[in-house]
Amino acid sequence: MSIGNILSKSSDWLRGDGPHHHIVVTSRIRLARNLAGVAFPGRAKAAERVDVLEKIRPKVESLPEMVDAVSLACQDLSPVDKLLLVERHLISREHAAKKAGAAVVMNRRQNLSIMINEEDHLRMQSIRSGLQLRAAFKAINKVDSELEQQLDYAFDSNLGYLTACPTNVGTGMRASAMVHVPGLVLSEQINQIVQAVNKIGLAVRGLYGEGTEALGNLFQVSNQTTLGEKEEEIIDRLHKVILEIINHELNARQVLLHNKPNTLLDHVGRSYGTLRHAYSMNSKEALNHLSFAKLACDLGFYGDAQRHAIDELFIETQPAHLQKGSQQRLATDERDVLRAEIIRSKMASFAPPDLESVLVREKEARGGAKKEPPHGSGAGEEPSGTDFF
Amino acid sequence: MLCDVCKAQTASVFLTQIVDGKIQKVNLCDPCSKEKGVTDPTGFALADMLFGMGAAQQIGANIGSEGVRCPQCGFTQAEFKKTGRLGCSVCYVTFAEPLKELLKGMHKGLRHIGKCPERLRLTQERDSALRQFHDDLRAAVVEEKYEEAAALRDKIRALELSGGVKGD
Ligand SMILES: [Zn+2]
Ligand SMILES: [Zn+2]
């Protein structure tokens, strides 16, 4: 299978059918492994990296999980294709820049990708829609167990799996969930959450943008420590924290609806207007408006088909995806025009969200005295994106 | 200004560190600073210990003396400092001492308790079973329990041939 074949299909996780997918976009597990007796890729000479590639690649390609896979050497890929894979979370930005010996093998559904000669000899990733950390681990753990029978891993009985960076030594595992939390951002609770989560050994970073700036209200939560704990313990801790974040986010939205409905509706309404009527939009602006379109879906204004369209736009409006769909090389301003055009056409059938009805309902709720306090629901219940309304 | 740790005594040691690109200030009183090993040059991960923040950027920033070279890949501590990465798996042995301090501040423990490659696990189980049988055999001989000794010798031979532990 060629790269064109695989990239013409959208990624499996984009179907957005996992548990809690309204707030948790994806769950990912990455395992880092190295071969014993060979320098790590950053230290190895080009010839050594090529040796490692020749040793690992056939084993990876013959995995039962990879029957319909595409296997690509980084130096055979065009810059646009590489960036495209980065935008789909299939390879890292660092890996895209690598040359001799660097390759990636991924399955057709794009929920399993294995980078060879990234920072470590093997970086294996499994990605799922929604909150499915355990399922993602199960999948990648199986692949790892199959590979360990054929490859001699660098493993120390005290330190576990040895990795190029000491921050990964031990399990070599990074578990992460991408969450969409406009409620926490609007109600300015996000910094508190970030600090609380940091304290228990988890990291939170904005998905797009530098440092703590988070575009599209998207954050990635992941474990920071890899040594001294079992894989399952790390995953359970992260899973629990994500459930907490879901509850906080749902609460924040509800409180906003009760206390500052106009603030919330203003964001949703303006984003709708901009997405439907703009003729030039940069990537940052698109992400932020798409975030509120996604929120509009959660608020019940749109159905599954529209939600899917919005989710796809998050990926399709990234620079390489725009470039790939175009015949000639696009300058930045041309990309902004194309981005706006794609969004307009995809959202052409979106009726304006009935924001007024929300205000009416809120007014009624407040008028009907002794209603439940705004904090009431959410806690203890199974959180979901629609029933809090 | 009060100490960030005990929140009782006046701080006399002020630390500033860059963590994830952000400046963090930590203020400590004299006893707390000693207890947290601030005077120790390898106690670099102080902010981490206090706040549990990541320290990827700081790796190697306070690693001790220069000059040691990894016999396998030729990596030096200076290179480690610069890149924050190790050169090969033997580097973990070469730089074991300074790494220990680093790992202590970075992780939940110093010992891996998670997954282990199956082949290695089997070998380890076999080795420890063999050791046990040999101990038992020695004891049996001393106590002149020759029948038991013979049985143990058979078990040892079988285990050495099989290359794995037979389930009980
Ligand atoms: Zn103190
Ligand atoms: Zn080395």
Q: What is the mean pLDDT of residues A307-311?
A: 93
From A110, A109, A69, select the one nearest A91 (Cα to Cα): A110
Segment 38-57 of chain B within 8 Å of chain A by CB: 51-56
Contact between residue A311 and residue A10 where contact means Cβ atoms under 8 Å apart: no
**Is residue A211 predicted with pLDDT exceeding 60?**
no
Segment 121-150 of chain B within 8 Å of chain A by CB: 124
**Is residue B143 predicted with pLDDT exceeding 50?**
yes
Considering chain A, what is the average pLDDT of its residues?
89
Ligand 1 centroid – CA B10 distance (Å): 7
Tell me which of B24, B70, B85 to substitute to probe the interface with A (most A C-beta atoms closer than 10 Å).
Answer: B85
**Is residue B167 predicted with pLDDT exceeding 60?**
no
Residue A3 pLDDT = 75
**Chain B contact present for A45, CB below 8 A:** no
Residue A136 pLDDT = 97
The dihedrals phi and psi of B41, each to the nearest 5 degrees, come to -60, -20
Q: How far apart are CA B142 and CA B137, in angstroms?
A: 9
**Chain B contact present for A219, CB below 8 A:** no
**Is residue A167 predicted with pLDDT exceeding 70?**
yes
**Is residue B62 predicted with pLDDT exceeding 50?**
no
Q: How far apart are CA A288 and CA A266, in angstroms?
A: 14
Residue A155 pLDDT = 96
Angle at B20 between CA A321 and CA A163, to 5 degrees: 80
Cβ neighbour number for residue B25 with a 10 Å cutoff: 11
Tell me which of B108, B116, B124 to substitute to probe the interface with A (most A C-beta atoms closer than 10 Å).
Answer: B108
Task: For residue B89, list chain A residues with Cβ-Cβ distance below 8 A.
Answer: 34, 36-37, 40, 154, 156, 162
Torsion of CA B46, B47, B52, B55, to 10 degrees: -90
Considering chain B, what is the average pLDDT of its residues?
74
Contact between residue A122 and residue A153 where contact means Cβ atoms under 8 Å apart: no
Nearest Cβ partner of B85 from A40, A156, A159?
A40
Q: Which two tokens stand for residue A326?
A: 């175009």
Q: What is the pLDDT of residues A324-366, one digit of tens each?
A: 888 789 999 999 999 999 999 999 999 999 998 888 888 887 7
Residue A205 pLDDT = 83
- β-partners of residue A35 are A153
Task: Flag the least confident range among A243-252, A313-322, B158-167.
Answer: B158-167
Indicate the pTM of the whole model.
Answer: 0.79
* DSSP at B65: -
**Chain B contact present for A43, CB below 8 A:** yes
Q: What is the mean pLDDT of residues A370-386?
A: 41
pLDDT class for B44, splitting at 50, 70, 90?
very low
Contact between residue A296 and residue A353 where contact means Cβ atoms under 8 Å apart: yes
Residue A219 pLDDT = 92
Given CA atoms B128, B133, B138, B140 in this order, what sign does their dihedral have? Answer: positive
Residue B66 pLDDT = 55
Residue A377 pLDDT = 44
- B81: helix, strand or coil: helix
**Is residue A4 predicted with pLDDT exceeding 80?**
no
Q: What is the pLDDT of residues A16-57, one digit of tens each?
A: 788 999 999 999 999 999 999 999 999 999 999 999 999 999
From A140, A158, A113, A95, select the one nearest A11 (Cα to Cα): A113
Residue A20 pLDDT = 94
Task: Flag the least confident range among A325-339, B57-71, B133-147.
Answer: B57-71
- Ligand having the closest approach to the CA of B6: 1
Task: For residue A153, list chain B residues with Cβ-Cβ distance below 8 A.
Answer: 117
Amino acid at A41: P
pLDDT class for B121, splitting at 50, 70, 90?
confident
Which is more confidently placed, A15 or A217?
A: A217
Residue B23 pLDDT = 46
pLDDT class for B14, splitting at 50, 70, 90?
low
Residue A49 pLDDT = 95
* DSSP at B129: H
Secondary-structure class of domain A1-18+30-170 per CATH:
alpha beta
Amino acid at A375: H
Give the 3-state secondary structure of chain A: CCHHHHHHCCCHHHHCCCCCCCCEEEEEEEEEECECCCCCCCCCCHHHHHHHHHHHHHHHHCCHHHCCCEEEEHHHCCHHHHHHHHHCCCCCHHHHCCCCCCEEEECCCCCEEEEECCCCCEEEEEEEECCCHHHHHHHHHHHHHHHHCCCCECEECCCEECCCCCCCCECCEEEEEEEECHHHHHCCCHHHHHHHHHHCCEEEEECCCCCCCCHHHEEEEEECCCCCCCHHHHHHHHHHHHHHHHHHHHHHHHHHHHHCHHHHHHHHHHHHHHHHHCCCCCHHHHHHHHHHHHHHHHCCCCCHHHHHHHHHHHHHCCHHHHHHCCCCCCCHHHHHHHHHHHHHHHCCCCCCCCHHHHHHHHHHHHHCCCCCCCCCCCCCCCCCCCCCC
Q: What is the mean pLDDT of residues A77-85?
A: 90
Task: For residue A161, list chain B residues with Cβ-Cβ distance below 8 A.
Answer: 112, 115
The dihedrals phi and psi of A108, each to the nearest 5 degrees, come to -65, -35
Q: Which two tokens stand for residue A228?
A: 């001294």
Residue B54 pLDDT = 37
Q: How far apart are CA B79 and CA A43, in angstroms?
A: 10
Ligand 2 centroid – CA A39 distance (Å): 7
From A341, A346, A344, A294, select the one nearest A322 (Cα to Cα): A341
Return the percentage of chain A with pLDDT > 70, whole number.
93
CA–CA min distance A211, chain B (Å): 7
Domain ranges of chain A: 1-18+30-170, 261-353
Q: What is the mean pLDDT of residues A170-198?
A: 93
**Chain A contact present for B167, CB below 8 A:** no
Residue B166 pLDDT = 45
Rg, chain B, Cα only: 25
| Measured CA distances, B94 to A58, B10, B75, B86 (Å) | 32, 41, 9, 10
**Chain A contact present for B85, CB below 8 A:** yes
- B104: helix, strand or coil: helix
Q: How far apart are CA A385 and CA B145, in angstroms?
A: 72
Q: What burial class does residue A319 get, using C-beta atoms within 10 Å of its C-beta: 0-12 exposed, 13-18 middle, 19+ buried?
A: middle
- Ligand having the closest approach to the CA of B13: 1
The dihedrals phi and psi of B4, each to the nearest 5 degrees, come to -70, -20
CA–CA min distance A286, chain B (Å): 26
The dihedrals phi and psi of A155, each to the nearest 5 degrees, come to -140, 135
Q: What is the pLDDT of residues A90-110, one digit of tens each?
A: 898 888 887 789 999 999 889
**Is residue B36 predicted with pLDDT exceeding 90?**
no
Residue B64 pLDDT = 44
The dihedrals phi and psi of A72, each to the nearest 5 degrees, come to -130, 135
Nearest Cβ partner of A42 from B52, B85, B102?
B85
**Chain B contact present for A164, CB below 8 A:** yes
Q: What is the mean pLDDT of residues A253-275?
A: 94
Ligand 1 centroid – CA A252 distance (Å): 37
pLDDT class for A71, splitting at 50, 70, 90?
very high
Task: For residue B105, list chain A residues with Cβ-Cβ distance below 8 A.
Answer: none
Q: What was the ipTM of the complex prediction?
A: 0.82
**Is residue A217 predicted with pLDDT exceeding 50?**
yes
Which is more confidently placed, B7 or B64?
A: B7
Q: What is the mean pLDDT of residues B22-43?
A: 59
Q: What is the pLDDT of residues A218-252, one digit of tens each?
A: 999 999 999 999 999 999 999 999 999 999 999 99
Residue A68 pLDDT = 87
Mean pLDDT is highest, among A198-202, A208-212, A228-232, A373-377, for A228-232
Contact A144 B56 (CB under 8 A): no
Contact between residue B76 and residue B68 where contact means Cβ atoms under 8 Å apart: yes
Task: For residue B86, list chain A residues with Cβ-Cβ distance below 8 A.
Answer: 40, 43, 164-166
